Amino acid sequence: MDLTSTYFFAPYEDYSQLNIVLELLAVIFGLVSVWLSKLNNILVYPTGLISTSIYVYLLFHWGLLGDMMINGYYVAMGIYGWYYWSKKKNGLEVHKIATVTGAELRMIFALFLSTLLFVFGIYSVFSFWGSLVSYIDACTSALFFVAMFLMARRKVEHWIFWIVGDVISIPLYIYKGFALTGLQYLIFTLIAIGGYISWKKELDYERR
């Protein structure tokens, strides 16, 4: 128990009380946001924007440039997704849950590849290639960029990218010394699995 406490919470001894509270708030709003996404509720976006905006500040403060860029992208895509989901015609939603098209598959590949190249470039410029963690960061960045894009477009496949990225992020953030965020990604994984099942059921129902 002492070893576990030391491993998970020792890094927080050097954090300011403000940053600990902010991380806790970011985790709470992040969990609420993912749960609302599972329910296909548009409030996923305002709650998500609060969480990601806090993380932009925290990650900049922690010097985690790659993770900060991901959350900056989340903020931008959150605004776009909020607009996309809210579009209505004759009082009915214009964009409902759907599967990816052939054109979107090409966009997914292009986005994944361009994200990898972009992160690789940034890490090379700032000499962040210190360990295997940097390469894993680049891959999770690409996965999450695609996931957020597909979520904003209300595509059921976005859950698959979240699940893979979340599973990788659990030990990654614990290793970095952010136990609360690592725990958040564990819960994210469980919610994402439920979200995929829920969205798939709703999609199958609408196709009947």
Q: What three-state secondary structure class fits 39?
A: coil
Tokens standing for residue 185: 């990604």
Q: What is the pLDDT of residues 2-23, one digit of tens each?
A: 555 555 566 666 777 888 889 8
Q: Global pTM?
A: 0.83
* Structure confidence at residue 181 as a pLDDT band (50, 70, 90): confident
User: How many helices (H) does the chain have, and how many strands (E)?
Assistant: 8, 2
Q: Is the pLDDT of residue 178 over 90?
A: no
Tokens standing for residue 79: 């605004």
Q: Tell me the residue type at 178.
A: F
Q: What is the pLDDT of residues 95-153, one digit of tens each?
A: 889 999 888 899 899 999 998 888 777 777 766 666 777 788 888 888 999 999 999 99
Question: By the 8 A CB rule, do 141 and 69 touch?
Answer: yes
Using a CB cutoff of 8 Å and minimum separation of 24, what contacts does 176-185 make? 176/64, 176/133, 177/10, 177/11, 178/11, 178/23, 179/8, 179/9, 179/11, 179/12, 180/23, 180/24, 180/27, 181/23, 181/27, 183/27, 184/27, 184/30, 184/31
Q: What is the pLDDT of residues 66-108, one digit of tens each?
A: 678 778 988 999 999 999 999 988 877 888 899 998 888 998 9
Q: What is the pLDDT, as a whole number, of residue 125?
A: 73
Q: Is the pLDDT of residue 199 over 60?
A: yes
pLDDT average, residue stretch 19-36:
90
Beta strand residue intervals within 100-164, DSSP E: none
Q: What is the pLDDT, as a whole number, of residue 173?
A: 84
Question: By the 8 A CB rule, do 45 and 32 touch?
Answer: no
163: closest CA among 127, 199, 132, 134?
199
User: b or e along 69-79 (b: 16 or more beta carbons within 10 Å of the residue's beta carbon)?
Assistant: bbbbbbbebbe
Q: Which of 2-6, 44-48, 117-121, 196-200 has the lowest mean pLDDT?
A: 2-6
Q: What is the pLDDT of residues 156-165, one digit of tens each?
A: 999 999 999 9
pLDDT average, residue stretch 176-193:
86
Q: Tell me the residue type at 7.
A: Y
pLDDT top residue among 89 and 200: 200
Q: What is the pLDDT, as a whole number, of residue 136?
A: 85
